[in-house]
Structure 1
Amino acid sequence: MDALSRIEGRAIPFGAKNVDTDIIIPAKWLKTITREGLGAGAFESIRAQPGNLFDDPANAGAPILIAGDNFGCGSSREHAAWAILDLGIRAVIAPSYSDIFSGNAVKNGILPVVLPQDAIDRLMDVAKDGHEITVDLETQTVTTPFQDRFEFDIDPFRKHCLLHGLDEVALTLERQAVIGQYESKRAGARDWLIKGTGI
Structure 2
Amino acid sequence: MPGEELHEVGADGARRAKEWLEATTRVKASWTNTDPKWSRRMTFKWPTGKQTPFSLDLGGLLCGGEFDNDIFMAECKKYASASDQGTHYLAYLAKCYVILSQQETAADHFMWITWCPFNVTDWDKLLTEEWLRKAILRHAPDIFGEVPPGEVESLIDNDVVRLTAERLWMIVLSDKQEQLVITREHRSLIQRHDVLEGIR
Q: Please confirm whether the aligned pair reaches a TM-score higher than 0.5, indicating the same fold.
A: no
Which category of TM-score, normalised to the shorter sequence, fits these structures? under 0.3
TM-score computed with the length of structure 2 as normaliser: 0.26
* TM-score scaled by length of structure 1: 0.26
Higher helix share: 2
Structure number with bigger Rg: 1
Ranked by relative contact order (alpha carbons within 8 Å, sequence separation 6 or more), the top structure is 1
